[in-house]
Amino acid sequence: MNNKKSCWGQTLPDYVLHYHNTVWGKPCHDDVTLFKMLCMEAFQAGLSWNIVLKLETQLEVAFDGFDPEIIAAYDKNKADELMCADGMIKNRKKIEAVLNNAKRYLDVQKEFGSFDNYIWSFADYKVIDNKFTSSTQLPASTPLSDKIAKDLKKRGFKFLGTVTVYAFMQSMGLVNDHLIDCEYR
C-alpha cells in the first residue's frame, strides 16, 4: 500500500488514485492527450468521475485512441455504432459532441499550430498553482474557465461549459489544485 499523503485520500479505487497521482494537475502538452482529456471531461458532465475513469480504456478503444483526425472523419453510422459499443457512455449528445469537437479541435490546431499553444496561451504558458490547504477551497469554475468556455463555444465546441472546462484545466495541469500538503503536487 502506498503511504504517501494524497489530497483525494487513500480509500478510492486504484484506477482513481492512479489518475490523481500521475495525471491530475500534471502539465500536459501532447495534443492527442489533450483532446482525450477534453472528451473525458465532456463525458463526465453529470456523472461520477469514477464511472468515466473506470470506462477509460473502453472509451479509448471505441474512439480510436481519441485521435481527433480519425474522429473528425466519423459519420452518423459511426455515431450509431458508438451508441451500441461495450463500455460506452450511451448519451447521444455527448457522442455527437466528441465528433463535432474533433473537427473544431483540428480547426484550432490549424489556427494556432497546436491545441497546446491555444490552451496554454490563456495562462501565459504557465501552470496556475493555487496552493489550496483544504478541498473546500476548490472552485467549480473560475473567471478563466468562463473565458475559455466562452471562446470554445464561439469556436463551435459542444458540451464544454465553464465547470467542465475547469475540470479539464485541472486534468491537463493548466491548474494545479493538489492541496499544498499532497505529496503528488
In angstroms, the CA 174 to CA 28 distance is 8
Point out the catalytic residue in the list 49, 56, 81, 96. 49
In angstroms, the CA 185 to CA 116 distance is 21
Active site residue 41: yes
- Candidates 67, 68, 64; CA nearest to 82 is 64
Point out the catalytic residue in the list 8, 15, 24, 41. 41
Active site residue 60: no
- Candidates 3, 6, 25, 52; CA nearest to 182 is 6
Give the Cβ contact number of residue 63 at 10 Å.
Answer: 24
Point out the catalytic residue in the list 19, 24, 105, 184. 19
Active site residue 49: yes
Residues acting as catalytic residues: 19, 41, 49
